[in-house]
Amino acid sequence: MRSNDNPHPRRVGVLALAIVLSLLAPVASAHAAVLDNDYVGGTRIKSRESLRSSAPDLSIPSGLLQTMDGRELWARDPTAQRAMASTTKIMTAVVVLEHARLEDVVTVDKKAQTVGESAMGLIVGEKFTVAELLKGVLVQSGNDAATLIAEHVGGTVENFVKMMNAKAAALDLKDTHYSNPHGLDQAGHHTSAADLTSLARYAMRNPTFRDIVNTYTVRVRSDRYTHFLTSHNGLLKTYKGAEGVKTGWTDDAGYCIVFAAKRGGVELVGTIMGASNEVDRAKQAKTLFDWGFKHYKPVQVVAAGESVGRVPISDYMERTVGAVTQESTSVPVFDLAGDVRRKVSLSPDVPAPLRAGDRVGTLTVYQGKSILAQLPLVADRDVPAPTFGQRIVFFFGRIWRGIFG
C-alpha cells in the first residue's frame, strides 16, 4: 500500500531507471492508441469512424477531458472505478475549506507524524494555521498534513472520512468512496476519471483552493520552523497556462493527475489515471490538453452591426426597422462536434416610438443540439411615433385594405 506522490526511498533507483528508459525510448508512445470505445464530443468512435483520425493517441486505461463548465471533449472508460492515490486530497481540501476557518491553529500530534510515505515533514508540537496546512496537503501532498487536518476538522480521521463520503454523495460522485483522507491504497478507496474531473471543477470554484494548486514552490511557517514545499506537478512549470490541480501515485493507482489549464479564454480540466510512470503521466496530460486546445477554441459567430432581417412597425403601414446584432461575439467551439448554425427569431411587429438599440428579436447559435449563445437583436435606427395626420391616413388605409384587399 505505497505510496502517494513520493515514491518510497527503496524504489527511487528503480523509478529513476524507468524514467531514464522512458526518455530514451518511450515505451508508452509505442502503445498509444485510439480505441473503439473512446468518445469524442460524446460520440463513440466505433459509431463514427470519421472521428478516429482526429482523436488523441493515449496509452492510459482511463481518462477524461472537459471544459470547465462541464462539456465533454474526450473520454476513455471514464466511470471505471480505480484507486485514486493523492488525488484524494482534492476532496480532503474541499471538506476542510467548507468546515474550518483558515486562521484556525492546529498542533501536530504523533498520529499525523507517523502516517508515512509522502510527507510535509511535520514535527510533534508544531503549530500551524489551517491555511498553511492546506498548502502542505495540496502542494507537497503531505499524508501527515492530510491526517492532521482531518483530525482537526472531523474530531477523528474516521469521522472526517464520513464527511468526505457525504460530500461525494452531495456532489453525485457515484463511482467514489473514501477510506482515508490521504490516498494510500486501502480497501474501498476508489473513484473514477469522471468523478475526479467533476470534483476538480467544483473545487476550482473556490479561490483559495485554486490559488494553492497553482503554486509550485512555497514556504510554510509554523510557530517553530519554516518548511519548504514543492509540488509534484511539474506541468505547472512546463505547460503554458497550467493551473493545477493534483497528482498522485500508488501501486494500485499507477500515476494519476487531475490537470487544469487556461489558454486564450478557454479553460479545460481533465484526468489521467493509470499512467506507467511520472514522465509518461506528464506526457499523456500534455498530449490530451494540446489536442483539447487545438479543437476547442473561440470562433467569432456574429459581427457587430450585422443585419439579419426586418421587423414591421405596428403603428405604420408598410414601414419596417432593421434588426441587427449589437456587438461582435466569439464563443468557444469544438470543431469536431459538427457545423455551427444560427436561428433568427424576430418579433412579429413592434410599436412606435422605437429607439435604435431597442430589442426586436433573438439570435441563437447552435452546434448540434447544444446552444452556444443567445444574443439580442436590436433596432438599427430610431422610429418616431406617427403624427395625428398619419394616424388618420393609416386608419382609413387599413379600412380600405380590409374591404378591397
Distance from C-alpha of 19 to C-alpha of 257, rounded to nearest angstrom: 17
Among the options 59, 62, 86, 276, which is catalytic?
86
Catalytic-residue membership of 276: no
Among the options 3, 22, 89, 118, which is catalytic?
89
Dihedrals phi, psi of 216, to nearest 5 degrees: -90, -45
Distance from C-alpha of 146 to C-alpha of 154, rounded to nearest angstrom: 12
3-state secondary structure the chain: CCCCCCCCHHHHHHHHHHHHHHHHCCHHHHHCECCCCCEECCEEHHHCHHHHHHCCCECCCEEEEEECCCCEEEEECCCCCECCHHHHHHHHHHHHHHHCCCCCEEECCHHHHCCCCCCCCCCCCCEEEHHHHHHHHHCCCCHHHHHHHHHHHHCCHHHHHHHHHHHHHHCCCCCCECCCCCCCCCCCCEECHHHHHHHHHHHCCCHHHHHHHCCCEEEEECCCCEEEEECCCCHHHHCCCEEEEEEEEECCCEEEEEEEEEECCEEEEEEEEEECCHHHHHHHHHHHHHHHHHHEEEEEEECCCCEEEEEEECCCCCCEEEEEECCCEEEEEECCCCCEEEEEEECCCECCCECCCCEEEEEEEEECCEEEEEEEEEECCCECCCCHHHHHHHHHHHHHHHHHC
Catalytic-residue membership of 192: no
Instruction: Name residues whose C-beta falls within 8 Å of residue 184's C-beta, 6 or more positions apart in sequence.
Output: 1, 2, 3, 4, 115, 117, 143, 250
Using the structure block, give the residue that is written with the C-alpha cell 502516517: 115
Distance from C-alpha of 132 to C-alpha of 155, rounded to nearest angstrom: 19
Among the options 59, 141, 222, 231, which is catalytic?
141
Q: How many residues does the chain have?
A: 405
Q: Please, what is the angle between helix 278-295 and helix 12-24, to 10°? A: 40
Catalytic-residue membership of 22: no
Distance from C-alpha of 49 to C-alpha of 34, rounded to nearest angstrom: 11
**Positions marked catalytic:** 86, 89, 141
